[in-house]
Amino acid sequence: MSFELPRELVHRLRAARSVGAITGAGISAESGIRPYRGKGGIYDDPSEGEATVEAVSAPTLYSDPDRTWRAIAAIARGAAGARPNAAHEALVAIENAVERFALLTQNVDGLHQAAGSKAIIDIHGSVDATICMRCDTRAPLDVASIATLERAPRCAQCSIGVLRPDVVLFGEMLPMDKVARMQREFHENVPDVVIIAGTSALFPYIAEPLLVARKAGKLTIEVNLEPTDVTVIAEFSFRERAGAVLPAIAEAINLR
């Protein structure tokens, strides 16, 4: 049985012409990828959480890149075989149904891209690309090959430089070009509907678009298994899987 949305919400979704979506690890968890936070997350075990954060931090990348890549390989092994789920597919359907759409995601797993989403702001980057730390050459990376890495890969262009994943590591700044896109899509041109799903929204830049939309009188929706700091901001908040709620939202928008 499909998830049933409140009648008022369905009515307002049908009037939407622009939608902004914000996603976190909770969406990927439904594809079998272990999240950092929440029940069963890496941070559930403090020692494991601390070790992982240290390994995939900027200082460790520069001092011991092999350790960073071994940690990334361990995470990749845990995500092996993951495929887009109903939540990813629903966001593609929403994007195809409205005049303007933007997807701000914290996830680096590439599942939104694999599902077919186009208007993506991957604020933390993506693991399917690398940058040479010596010559700055960018190159694609076969995600399946990450799981077997024991040492940091080397640059094919200069043959000397160590490659780094094109992701934001702990202790690094967000890429300014993506921050600028986020500002344009969520702050300067506030969407009719802002949906935040599968995230604890602990980072201000993740929570702020929802607050901006609510202050502007726009429709705000939260979908998360547990209450978060933005639960009190969202006009509609659902303690449910994104894979259950987002398809219902997509269906309502497509019934216009």
Last residue of a domain, one of 116, 144, 167: 167
pLDDT per residue over 112-123, tens digit each?
Answer: 999 999 999 999
Residue 185 covered by a domain: yes
Range of the domain at 60: 42-78+129-167
Is the same domain home to 104 and 208? Answer: yes
Q: Whole-angstrom Cα distance, residue 194 to residue 222?
A: 9
Residue 1 covered by a domain: no
Please give the DSSP secondary-structure letter assigned to residue 165: E
pLDDT per residue over 18-49, tens digit each?
Answer: 999 999 999 999 999 877 665 555 555 555 56
Is the same domain home to 163 and 187? Answer: no
Is the same domain home to 160 and 237? Answer: no
Q: What is the pLDDT of residue 239?
A: 98
Residue 55, C-beta contacts closer than 8 angstroms, at least 6 positions apart = 67, 68, 70, 71
Is the same domain home to 150 and 48? Answer: yes
Q: Whole-angstrom Cα distance, residue 124 to residue 103?
A: 13
Choice between 222 and 74, residue whose per-residue pLDDT is larger: 222
Helix (H) or strand (E) holding 251: helix 242-254
pLDDT per residue over 70-80, tens digit each?
Answer: 999 988 887 77
Q: Whole-angstrom Cα distance, residue 226 to residue 206?
A: 16
Catalytic residue numbers read 124
Residue 105 covered by a domain: yes
Q: What is the pLDDT of residue 243?
A: 98
Name the domain count of the chain.
2
Q: What is the pLDDT of residue 47?
A: 57
Model confidence, pTM: 0.92
Task: Provide Rg for the chain, Cα atoms.
Answer: 19
Is the same domain home to 208 and 179? Answer: yes
Q: What is the pLDDT of residue 233?
A: 96
pLDDT per residue over 118-167, tens digit each?
Answer: 999 999 999 889 999 999 999 998 888 888 999 999 999 999 999 999 99
Is the same domain home to 116 and 243? Answer: yes
Is the same domain home to 89 and 18? Answer: yes
